Amino acid sequence: MEKFPPQENNKKLEIEFFFKNYPLSENHKDKAELVLELKNILNSFLKGGDAVQAEENYNDWYKFSIGLKNKYKNIFQYYLYHMLIGSSIDEKRTPTEFDLPGEDSIEKYLKSKNI
């Protein structure tokens, strides 16, 4: 059984493994490295430093993700939302959009947490 991330420090292998579970649509294939960068930021952010920081980070993440879900009826059409909440992607209904606009951008949110 493979582990994530793959044991070798091989970016191509890591990308292939990740995108078996989170397939990108053809028009978003060029964003693969960005997605991995954002996923790594998210993982580090949710782990936090200590238990108190991890809980604060989790609460911040939860408030942001629920706020997006409440604001956008078509939220599951956004690839980064699936990645943000850990939702699997049905191959028959691959998201058509990559990220949300403006202040709701998941990329902007995650990059602001990459301290």
- This prediction has a pTM of 0.80
Domain for residue 97, yes or no?
Answer: yes
pLDDT at 4 (0 to 100): 53
Residue 102, domain extent: 11-113
Contact 96, 25 (CB under 8 A): yes
The DSSP H or E segment spanning 92 is none
Examine residue 1 and state whether it is found in any structural domain, yes or no.
no
Asked if residue 4 is part of any domain, the answer here is no
The number of distinct structural domains making up the chain is 1
Residues 6+ apart with CB under 8 A from 111: 38, 41
Q: Residue-wise pLDDT tens for the chain (115 aa)?
A: 445 544 556 667 777 777 777 788 888 888 888 988 998 899 888 887 888 888 999 999 999 999 999 999 999 999 999 999 988 887 777 888 999 999 999 999 999 997 5
